[in-house]
Structure 1
Amino acid sequence: MSHPEPQPGWGQPSPGQGGPRSPRKGNTGKIIGFSCLGAIVLVVVLIIALLAIGGGDDGEPDQPHTSPATQPTAGRTPTSKEPQTDSGPRGDVRITACEVDSATNWPSAELTITNRSSKASNYVVQVEFVDASNTRLSEATAATNNVAPGQQSEVTAQGLDQITSKITCRITDVTRYAS
């Protein structure tokens, strides 16, 4: 008895007809490569953002801050007739109220920010709360964005530490940068 010839597609394939395939290359290299690229892009974006926020301003020179004694204290509300003694970003911010909330015992400072620069600007203001012996009890930050030239913005710097004594509010730092 003779063995019939195998039909095409049965048995061992002829050379060049598919045969066993070489192992398929995984996408691991691509995934790692794109992950590294994404991480690098993220780091570059963060550096640019930090430079814009921390180092950038609207091109106007900062002047030295005046002594904290020129700042309004609890119980004193400045009037619009008082001259602004600082130029640059520091002179754009005034404390209009300084108090400790009777229900929460949290300190707060009400601020009026007037953009005296020539460009729309963002502001970050640091405030400290001190007692009668000049001991720092708490601090807070207030921020406002896209304040047009000549425009005013009212914000609150809210502390979260409980305080039971009378306080004085002081502006410790003002950062202004173009919107």
Structure 2
Amino acid sequence: MSQQYPQNQPPQGWGPQQPQWGGPPPAPPKKSNAGKVIGFGCLGAVGLLVAIGIVGAVALGGDDGGEASSKPSVTASKPAAAPEKGAEEEPKEEAPAKAKEPSGPEGDVKVTGCEVEPTMQWPSASLDVTNRSSKPSNYIISVEFVDADGTRVGEGTAALNNLAPGQVSKEKAQGLTQVSGKVECRVTKVTRYAS
């Protein structure tokens, strides 16, 4: 015997299903990560371009051949030994005590102040930078901070761009290490290259 279905009604489970009340909600559309991928890709490209630009500028150098100096700007001289008693002294001509000004980029930088900021206790060096080259130049200046014993307690950096020939700029090299007591500021390296 066959089952009889009412006219125009298919058996249950056949045909289109009608929505049911209280059933599971439809799944939300899947989010795309395209925005993140594009954002990180652009950020990486910009970072790579900046790194290539800095390396290229330093490698190509300027009118001074991209000179960099690592000579400290503070030097100490050894006192002359006292003559022995009974030895005949020769007359000496004394030249005026004149400090020899460094040549190259290190001669462009002078330390004009050295202090420890009272609230944060971070050291800083005030610098006068004079472009003595014939072209507009960029500078990267490294400074170390030493205590009374000569121990290095921190370092700082100053950078400036497009300083015209003969122009003077007042800069600050800020250390980010807390120190106590007085410090001495020494320029350890100066890199100058044409803008």
What TM-score does the superposition give when structure 1 sets the normalisation length? 0.63
| Of 96, 105, 108, the match for 2:124 | 108
**1:89 aligned to 2:111?**
no
Q: What amino acid is aligned across from residue 140 of structure 1 in structure 2?
A: G
Native 8 Å contact 1:84 1:91 kept in 2: no
- Checking the alignment, whether the CA contact within 8 Å between 1:63 and 1:86 is kept in structure 2 is no
Q: Deviations over 1:55-85 (max 9, x none)?
A: 23213154865455339xxxxxxxxxx7662
Matches within 5 A, 1:43-122: 45=49, 48-61=52-65, 62=67, 65-70=70-75, 85-122=101-138
- Please tell me the root mean square deviation across aligned C-alpha atoms, in Å: 3.0
| 2-structure distance, mates of 1:149, 1:92 | 11
1:102–1:47 CA distance, 2 compared to 1 (3 A) = closer
1:16-64 alpha-carbon deviations (Å, 9 max, x no partner): xxxxxxxxxxxxxxxxxxxxxx9xx879845641333332321315486
Shift of 1:97: 0.1
Alpha-carbon spacing, 1:105–1:54, altered in 2? closer, same or farther (3 Å): same
Cα deviation for residue 172 of structure 1 reads 1.1
Count of aligned pairs: 135
- Give the secondary structure class of the aligned counterpart of 2:120: coil
Query: Identity rate of aligned residues, in percent?
Result: 46
How far apart are 1:98 and its partner, in Å?
0.5
Q: 2:144 matched to 1:128? A: yes
Residue number in structure 2 paired with 1:5: none
Distance 2:50 2:117 in 1: 37
**Structure 2 CA distance for aligned equivalents of residues 104 and 47 of structure 1:** 32
Structure number with bigger Rg: 2
1:163 maps to: 179
Out of 170, 173, 181, the residue aligned to residue 154 of structure 1 is 170
For 2:176 and 2:52, locate their aligned partners in 1 and report how far apart those are by CA, in whole Å.
Answer: 31
User: Are the equivalent residues in 1 in contact too, given 2:72–2:188 (CA < 8 A)?
Assistant: no
List gaps (5 residues or longer) in structure 2: 1-41, 77-97
Kept in 2, the 8 Å contact 1:124–1:141? The answer is yes
Q: Deviations over 1:114-147 (max 9, x none)?
A: 0000000111111110112221111111111110
Cα pair 1:140 1:157 within 8 Å, conserved: yes
